[in-house]
Structure formats: C-alpha cells, structure tokens
Chain A
C-alpha cells in the first residue's frame, strides 16, 4: 500500500465537524474515488507530483478533497483551544501573505534619512480622532509608537469624553489588529481586485443613469457622519429613484417615536445630570450603553461624590431606578425596583398621573404605587432640579410621558434640553429595513450596497432577510470581516478600521469631529465614503479629500481660514462651533395608546456590554472582560431572577429553551440576583457563525427572538429545560461579603451626622511590623478609589489590558480561575431591605507598605521601590507563586502557560513597547503604570522641576468615566490623592492585617429617601 493510498482511506469521522455546507459540494462516486486512487497508484517518484498537479485540476478531485478533508476550512469556525487559536492565527497570517502574492508595484524603500518632524524614536505621539460604536461617538487621543497606534485615551476637549472612555473604545486597538479582519476583496468568495469591482459596478451603474437609479438601494447603518449624509444626499440627487435604507440593531426607534409623538419631530434629549438632584431612570442605562454614556457618567458622578468639607457634607443626588434587567444604572440606584418590562410603562403612567400629566393611571401593585407616590413627591419637591430618563428599550409611550413629565416639572432647559437628532431620519430603522425587504421581495432592488452592518445576522427575525438578500441580483457588502452578510454577497469589500481611515462624526450633543487615520489601511480597506464616491462616479476619490471637501463647503471659509480651522479641528479633535443649539419645543399630548397589561414571562433583549450588537464578538479583550453584574466572560446567558429560577426549577448552567411564539432559542441559565421576576434577559451579539476565530459559534443568537414589532422585549414567552447543562466561565464564585465588608456602605444622612462612621472601628496597626519603615524622601505614589463614584463599567479593566500588554487566556482558563486582569471589579450582592443591591469594587494592586508578597519571594523578584511601589521583576521571577498565595487581595496573576502571543504578527503591533511582554511561568500584577510615571519623571527632570499633581495618570484612572480613581503623590499634601485620603470615609481594604495599602477607598454612600426607608 503506498502512502497516498493510506491517505485516501482516512475515514471521514477522523475529520472535524465541517462548518461548510457539504450539500453544495458535488457527490463523489465510489467509482471516481477508485479512479483517483488508481491514477495515483500508477505513478511513483517524481512523476507523482506532476501527476498530482494534473489531478488536482480536475473537478472530481477537487470535490473529493472538499468532501473528505473539509477540516482545513472549518477549523477556524469551531471553538478553539488557546493553543489552536494561536496556531491558526499564525497560519491565517501566513495564508494572508499568500493572498498578497501579486507582483508588487515598483516602490522604493527610503529610510528616514531625515526624520519626520517631531518623530522621536521611543517617544509616543498622540493624535485626536473619534471612535463610533453605532451612533455613540467618543473623542479620543490615540497613542502612536513609531506609526502604530497602541492605546486609546479619552480626549479631554471632546464633550462625549472629557478625557475618559468606555471599554469598547479602549478595545479599538485590538479591533484594528484583529488577525481575522478581512484581508482582501472577494468576488463570490474568491479573491479579487478593486479594479475588477469598479469595472463590474460601473457597468451596472451605467445602465442606471437612464432609469434615474431604479433598482439601486443602499443599506446604511446609524452613522452620524455629516460627510456620509451629504454623500447620500448627493447620490439621491443623481439617482432620484434609488432607495436609501438604514438598519442598525441597536437603534433608537422607540425614543424617536416617543419624540415624534410629543414634539412632532426627531429630536434627542440632552441631559445635564450634574444639575439634577433627583434622577429617575425608567429602564434607562444612561451610565453605559448609548449616546453620551461616558459624559453622562461623569456628570452623574459629579453630583454624587459627596465629600466632607470643613465638617459639612457636599450635596449628593438621589437616583431611583425602575428597570427590567440588571444595569449599571440600577446598581447605582438608591431605590431600585426590578419589574418586568411591561410594568415599567405602568409605573411611568402612574408617575405621570401623579405629576399632573393627563394620562390614565393603570392599576399597579402596592410596591410600584408607593414608589411612584414617593418619586412623584421627591420630583415635585425638586422641580427644576429633577430629571426623568427613559431607556431606549422602553415603549414610545414611556418616552413620550417622560418628555411630558420633565416638561411638567419645568426640568426642560435646566436638567434636560433637546437637539435635532444627530441621526435624524425619515423613518424608523425597523420600518426602513422592512421596506427594503419588501422591495426585494417585489424585485424592485437589483443592486444593493450595504455600508457595513451585518443584517443577515441581526435583522429582525421575522423579515427573513437572508432569504430575501439571496434574490438580489447584485449585492455588495462593505465590512471589516467576512461575516454572515458578506458570505451571501457577490462582492465583499474590506472596510477600513476607524483608526485607518478618514471620516467625521457627531457626538451626542451634536459636536462634530474629524476621524483621522493613525496608520495606512493594513489590508487595503476602503471606507464607506470611498464606496459612495464610486457610486457617485468618482472612482479615485480618497476619503481624506471627501471629508475635507465636505467641511470646506460646510464651514464656508476661505482657503487660509479653512486651513487653520482644519488643522485646529484635527489637533483638538472637535470642530469648533458645531455643538447643536438647544431647540425650543412645545410638547403636545402625544399619542399614547392604551396601556396593555401583559401576563406571563417576558423576554428582555439587550445589547451585550462586550459584544454590543455582535460587532465586537471577536475582540478578545472585550470577551474576557467580565460582563457587569453577572461577571460572565466569553458568552451570553439567559439571566433570570432567583425567584423565577426557583419557580421554574432551574439552576445556573442549565440549558433552557426560551420560546416566544414559534421562535425559540436555547440558552444556558445564569441566576442573577436583582433581576426582575417573570422576565429573562438575553443579550444580543452572540451565536455568530462567521465572526472570526474567537467570536464564531460562541453563545446563542438572541436575534432569533427579535421581530420588527418586538425589538427589546417579547411577551408571552416560556422556558423549558432541555436537560443539558453548560459550563459558563465567570470570574467571581462568591458574591456575599460574608460580614467582612470589603465594601463599606453608609447612607448620606448618617455620613452628614457622623462622617467617620465607616472607619471609626479601625485599629491602627501600622507600627506592628518587625521591619523598619521605608523612608520616602521623594514621591510616594498612592491611589484612592471612590466607591461612591465607581459604576462598575469595566473601562479601567480594558484600559489596563491595553496599556500593559495583558494577554487574554480564553474561556477554559477563565473558568479555571486564571484570568490575568491586573485590575478587577469585584461585585458583591448585599441583601438590603429595599432588595438586592450590587456593589462594585475595583481592586488593583494595593502596593502595601508592608507587602506580604515581598517577604516571601525567595529570589527577591518582587521588591519595594523608594517611591513605595511594589515592583515585579519579571526576569528574576522563577514562579514559586508564594507571593500570590500570600497576597490577601489576590491581585497577583500568574502565567500558567505561555499566554502572550509571540507568533501573530498583527497582534505584536498592538503591544505597548514600554511594557515587557511576560513569558510563561512568571508572576505579574498592577505596576501603577510605572512606565507612565517614568515617562513623566524624565520630562520633569529635563525641565528641572517636580512632577505636578495630576501629571501622572495610570491607565485605569485615565479611562475612568466617573473619575472614581485618583492617583498621585501622597507625600504632597496638596495633591488630590492626599485630599481624598484625608476624607473621613476613607479606609484601607483589610488594613487590620497591617499591610498598610497604598491603594485605598472612599466608602460608598447611598442617599435613600427617608420616607421610603420607613415605609
């Protein structure tokens, strides 16, 4: 038997489950196989290879190969181990290299004989740009090392950032270097060229000139780009019969409908949380998802951070939350009531009724009624300084009532104003895509261009978009990945990442900013602007010129003035004078409809904190970041309350079938304290089949339950057990504080009377050490974390991961308790008279004065610096893990395997050159971003001055939307960190052990309504 015989007899079951559709591969008959085998058997030696080439060209042989060895393709589609993942990432890059095996154009490589201005090797430079997650725009500064972006920081000048970011923005760097990004233009799955695409597209468009664009349709997403808006308008002018549709799964249809019904136009509220003393959240998540979340979190925290000044406490706001799922906003609430989605509207109606808005109040339970009474009283007492916020997921009626309540309380103009929506449009997203599908069904669409998005995956399930799409004669998809939609298109055009293309965007308050590239497109990606320009007949337009031309027109300045304005805009990251003016609106009654009480289980659909609508599911940093409150990683789950779980006989990990009508999805249960009863929360964005190595076939696809009419909640649902269980990877097993009070909580009223209550019982054990104190003659770095301001959003975790080259470890390793995050956010549940309360506590290294880790290291790999940092010397570490065992805070992290990626070329670019990439067998932990301290130190020394307060910012502090983290020199009595340490509610975690932590906390305060407390 020859070697190839052996190969051919490999049984099919040795091959991994194929992800490709084998049905599409022609059947290979037994005879044909035999023929191939005989063919091969006849040849020997060198002839064999020539023969194989010939063979390989025949159709039966190719079909045979696909049938018998499909493992080569779908390997990437299945759930991979970390090792396989790394291996295939390397391999995919190698293959990518092959893809580029075209003749290179004649280019000369020229060294920097004379270096570009301001480029100093080893010195990072920062560029202002903006990042968009849907319509959420945030201005950022991007750190660039020798031309490669490595770190995202907030832009202090940008209104949506004020210097902070969210986790999604932080992870954009990994998104840029994602090895699974699309590397080439595809024509029906085969690599093609831009020129070939232009030829085919123009031949189609040529015919359309005559029909005024009949049959041409564009499906856009919720881009806020003014340039894109203008380009689309120009296209419509050229092709009046064409259709422009828009769809984004995390749309604002409900708030839009609510605003339409009250004001008659598409306006957006803009909140001033810093001016609100009483805030009522109606299923809103204004602290995290959605437009302006980072800015709103800052403002909200500003009104919440009570301090004791001269013996008096500064004021603190009060937050009521009525919500159907678990949110960060709810976790910050002083009074929180979790009810199923339909009851939020009932509550809103009752509340509106109490506040004099003409609406019928439905019958509600005692709990809701009492809360509504007290909230109404509190809002009335704080008229003009109150704020009611409705969540996007609530019905248009709730939005309409919210506008009217705010109006009735004279809050408008004080805590809320209205601007023209930055994504203002004629129709809702659901309507728009419904029309598109209808048009396709009626063969009114012959050419469909999709500017990003992934409608095959995320369009409302009842539209059956994929079936419709297959019937469009010519379909083009611009996308960063070869995703579910790309796979059904004739043409797939790789989309340039936001960090490699020009564009513009508008923030929640209307402020426009330029999106500028930090790096040339890694894989020749195109932007939506360039694609639209091609449709408009300009095949050579560059996004830069298009954006510039747009603003030149829009700003209407002369050449010199525009040049200056343009450079200022690029430098500052905002275009001055573009912030929207508040509109003066008179609310009408609005069409509310009657309240329909719903019975039975309701499904709550929400975007995922990490995957969002599914676009970030292949981003390892985000996937490994524990979801707020559930602390789950890598996948989604069906969140149910303990009571519902008990009623249904479910335990965490049980796989259930969630059924709504004839739609169903299977999901593992995760019991979530504080969740509304009779409701189950499913997060969108998972269960994708073509997302990449990390994101494909992970979790379940909750979009399958989502229809045009039920976007965010589905009633009449049921759960049934499948009998199977799934292992979910969560990072925190134990949520009870066990009476140890790592998070200290008191109420604002008590704080006012006795500000020292939270640390009055601490004993001073600081002198109980055998070893002499370290002298600190220069700086002594310290950190204070204000638990009253921390909203648990995880931005610090992702920022730390990006800054410090922290590798991801994968789901299995997380499940084993081996995640590597240097800062974690512990979440405890506290049984409280008013229900289950979640408490967040960020825990980085404490940098103890008497560090238990330092004394036990046998090789002195962890040492104390003369500025009080507990330092880790990676190359001295032999890995005994004694330091980790002896750390009472368990902040040390160990490289049990070689977690760092040394192979994947694109991921190497994401590394911060100032931080060591750690090897296997080495301990690591928070360094207080020592590389940042040293950067600033060098600058200060050169300028012969001391480091000023606030000059050194750790990555976590920098990213924190609420400024809950303050870092600085505790030897400097005037520093902010010293001021916080002098606060009466300041305490050290486990200080009774005598560790004398440098990282300390301010106790959490709550501000409950005394009337509700006594009730």
Chain B
C-alpha cells in the first residue's frame, strides 16, 4: 500500500483521474453541493430512507410504550438484536477513523478522496449504534444513571462493569470523531461559503467555517490541530472495539469469555468498516461521476485491507474452535459444538461462508478490479459481520452452562423494524450529507492534483478564493 515516490502508474491506477487541475477539482466537488438542481434520484433515495427512519420512530414508540418485551428476548438470551446491531454499527464506524487518523499518520495519500465520507459514515454509524444501548435497557429514562454525575443519592456507577467502560469509550469516540470531521471540514466550508450563491447558504456555511480565510496562520494551526486529533483518534481505533469486546470477554459465558476477543473485534470492525465504505463509495462514484476522484486504485487498496483484516478475523474463528477443543473445557467445547451443529448451525455456517469463504476471492486481481463483484462481496461482508455478532451474542447465551436453562431466541418484527429503521436513519443522514456537505475533501484533493497527469505544474496550497 506504500505510495512510491515515482510514477504512480507503476502501482496501477492513479488516486486521481487524469486531466484535473485545481479549479476543476473544486468545481467538481462543490457543484454537487451548490448545484441548484437536486437530482430526482436523491429525492427518491432520501424518501425511501426517511420512510425507513419513520419505521424506526414507530419501533421506538412501541418499545417505550410496552417495554423490551416486544423484542424476542428471554432468559437466558437477555441480549439480542439490540446488542448485535450496536456492535455492528460501531464496527462499521471504525473504517472512518482508521482512514482519517491512521492512514493520515502513515501518509497514505490515497485516503484523501475517501476520508471525508468515511468519517461522515463513522459519525452516522455511531449515532445509529448509540440508539441501541440506550433503548435496550429496561428503563431507558434512567439510563443516565450510567454517567458519573454528582447526585443527592451520592451514588456512582459501578466502575467494574464493561457496560460503563462502553459509555466512556463510545462517547469519547463519538466526540473525537465529530471534532475530527468538523475540523477537516472547515476549509471546505469556507470554499462553499465563497461559492454559494444564495444568502442562507452563505450564512450557514459562513458560520460553520468559523471565519476561515486561508491565511498561513490558519493553515498552520489547522495542520497542528488536525494532526493532534489524528493522534488522539488513533488509539480510539483500537480501544473502542476492544472495550466493546470486553462486554463479552469479561462475561463468564462460554463463547464470550475469551482473551482473543479484543484483537478479533478490532480486526472485524475494520473489516466491516471498509466493506461499508466500499458499499457507499461504489454507488456514489457512479452516480455523481466521481470516478476520477475515487479511482480503481482506492477500491483495490480497500479490497486489500478487507482481505487482510478478513484473514485476522478468520484466524480468530479458527482459534475459537481450536481453544474449544484444546482447552478440554466441556463448556467451551459444548458451546463450539452447539454453534456448529446446534439449532443455530445455519447462522454459524452462513457466517463462515460470508466472512471466510467468499472474501478469499479478493486474492484475485480480476476480482479486485471488477467493481460489481467488489460491491457484492462488500454487501456479503456486511451481512457476515452481522451474523458474527448474532453468533457471538445469541448462540453463546442460548446454550450456556446448565442445560435446563437453554432456550431459543428469535427476533420479533419489532426487532427487525428497529434494525431496518437505523439503516433508514443512516441512509437519511448520508443523503443529507452528500447534498449539503462536500463529500470529498476539496482542499486535500487539490494537494493531489500535482500528482495527476495534467497537474504537474501546480504545487502546494493556494489561498482560497
């Protein structure tokens, strides 16, 4: 993935299409936001997603009115879709942070055209994720008791609980991600402010731009802040999903209680995150004609990351099975055997198909170069990662220590409605984002222009008009 100093063509497709200069990059990206005509497809897409978000609202009202009993939960399976979806969404968010922070620190310039919407995706995914732990508790109106705030009862939360660690990890993650995204947007807000024709947009973007004039001092401080935040966000990539995995690893239940959980979860999160970035990027670049900015090079690099993280995840699965056998622990082996041939065998083997077998196609360059196949594989990966969390949460709980308490779990329509509803919310936010904010970082793209074939004469930053 290392970007060589020489001709980028040596490494395959370029990170920016040919024939772009600084102006054309700015025009291209800002026009998506500032163009008066809103494409009909945007309205349709937003409409569909808003309808699904309405489903979310209905599911939440029903849940609050009647109680978590509307879901399929029981004893022993006290966590179900809510926790599965929470982990799934949080995992998806990880690619954004990884791209923005770690790839920035490693100076992977190809990240530039995808980082903005990957970061946006992160924030939206965290928003969707955050809904679940809040709503899944029996008395959501008291969920603030998880926060360490001074109160007349002189009560603190219980600091040994991983759920509390989750609160800190996820809220920190959400805050840093939001800041990072916003800071990165400031120069582009200024560009939009300057280019916007209508007064309300000028004012709105102007306020968001925080008085950015593109002065050298601005750039200098901006660079420092951005780098600092990248440094702050970097450990979060590892820590958030590590903490999320503690929800399980700290538990005593076979299938949860394993030291392999943190690395396996982090790898899984990056894996699913990149799959989601691809899932979004592939249609976006087609619909908005951004193939010059999100090139085959990007897609291939991401496919390689997916393959690499997939191998880690697959190793995790293999080790789980190995430990179950090698430990000689009857509960562990019972759990593993139950996953493979028990009542949820279909979930386990679908997971193996989606997450282990199918992504192996990415070894082949022809597959990595075929956008449609890539898109399908990414969808499968998304499904696979959902199944992974289903297998971890549900199969472990449904068959734990005492056979007398074993019971089955199945999501109800309200479970599904809430899940699909958050996909709707996510989609709604994505559609609003691509309409009102530059989905590709304008100023960062401009730094790539010198590397494009037509832009060899340009270099460095220019003052924004």
Contacts and interface: CB of A to CB of B under 8 A. Distances in A.
A738 B334 contact: yes
A108 B47 CA distance: 70
A202 interface: no
A921 B404 contact: no
Interface residues of A, number: 56
A516 to B, nearest CB: 41
B401 A826 contact: no
Contact of A876 (B145, B167, B252): B145
Contact of A855 (B66, B138, B161): B161
A882 interface: yes
Interface in B381-404: 397, 400-404
From A813, A826, A860, A893, name the one whose CB has the most chain B CB atoms within 10 angstroms: A860
Nearest to B71: A896
B63 to A, nearest CB: 11
Contacts of B331: 740
Given A742-B404, A890-B402, A894-B78, A885 B162 contact: no
Contacts of A828: 403-404
Contacts of B142: 878
Interface string A893-907: 111111000000000
B402 A859 contact: no
A886 B402 contact: no
Given A858-B167, A893-B75, A881 B253 contact: no
Interface in B401-430: 401-408
Nearest to A890: B405
B330 A740 contact: yes
B72 interface: yes
A852 interface: yes
Contact of A737 (B162, B163, B403): B403
Given A733-B406, A739-B330, A858 B401 contact: no
B139 interface: yes
B143 interface: yes
Interface string B127-157: 0000000001111001101100000000111
Nearest to A880: B137
A859 B146 contact: yes
Contact of A856 (B74, B76, B146, B162): B162
A446 interface: no
Contacts of A995: 252
Given A856-B162, A885-B251, A922 B155 contact: no
B79 interface: yes
B238 interface: no
A817 B72 CA distance: 10
Interface in B160-213: 160-164, 167
Contacts of A882: 78-79, 161, 163, 247, 251
B67 interface: yes
A359 interface: no
Nearest to A739: B330
Contacts of B330: 739-740
Contacts of B259: none
A877 interface: yes
Interface string A699-737: 000000000000000000000000000000000111111
Contacts of A841: 404
Contact of B403 (A740, A852, A859, A923): A740
A991 to B, nearest CB: 11
Contact of A881 (B79, B161, B405, B407): B79
Nearest to A83: B66
B250 interface: yes
Nearest to B165: A858
Tier of interface size on chain B: 35 or more
Interface string A970-992: 00000000000000000001100
Nearest to A736: B403
B15 interface: no
Contacts of A894: 73, 75, 78, 138
Contacts of A921: 67-68, 137-139
Given A893-B75, A896-B68, A858 B402 contact: no
Contacts of A890: 75-76, 400, 402, 405
B75 A878 contact: no
> Chain B: interface secondary structure?
loop
Interface string A851-889: 010011111100000000000000011111110111011
Given A877-B138, A894-B78, A886 B146 contact: no
B68 A852 contact: no
Nearest to A994: B252
B68 A879 contact: yes
Most A CB contacts (10 A, CB to CB) among B136, B407, B408 go to: B407
B158 A859 contact: yes
B296 to A, nearest CB: 45
A542 interface: no
B69 interface: yes
A631 to B, nearest CB: 9
A391 to B, nearest CB: 29
A287 B330 CA distance: 36
A881 B138 contact: yes
Given A733-B406, A737-B403, A885-B78, A878 B137 contact: yes
A858 B408 CA distance: 26
Interface string B67-100: 1110011111111000000000000000000000
Contacts of A878: 137-139, 142-143, 145-146
A735 B405 CA distance: 10
B139 to A, nearest CB: 4
B74 A817 contact: yes
B404 A826 contact: yes
A879 B66 contact: no
Nearest to B343: A733
A923 B77 CA distance: 14
Contact of A858 (B69, B161, B407): B161
Contact of B72 (A738, A816, A858, A888): A816
B149 to A, nearest CB: 12
Contacts of B137: 878-880, 921
Contacts of B75: 817-818, 884, 890, 892-894
Interface string B355-396: 000000000000000000000000000000000000000000
Given A859-B157, A882-B161, A818 B404 contact: no
Interface in A623-640: none
A889 B402 CA distance: 7
Contact of A920 (B138, B158, B404): B138
Contacts of A41: none
Nearest to B409: A817
Interface in A288-302: none
A732 B72 contact: no
A742 B41 CA distance: 61
Contacts of A990: 401-402
Contacts of B155: 859-860, 876
Contact of A896 (B69, B253, B405): B69
A738 B400 CA distance: 11
A880 B156 CA distance: 17
Given A738-B403, A817-B76, A856 B67 contact: no
Contacts of B73: 881, 894, 896
Contact of A733 (B160, B247, B408): B408
A74 to B, nearest CB: 26
Contacts of B160: 855-856
A877 B162 CA distance: 16
11 contacts: A736-B403, A737-B403, A816-B72, A841-B404, A855-B160, A884-B75, A885-B79, A888-B402, A896-B68, A919-B139, A921-B67
Interface of A: 732-740, 742, 813, 816-818, 824, 826-828, 841, 843, 852, 855-860, 876-882, 884-886, 888-890, 892-898, 919-923, 989-990, 993, 995
Q: Which 7 A-B pairs have the closest CB atoms?
A: A879-B138, A921-B138, A896-B69, A817-B74, A881-B78, A890-B405, A826-B404
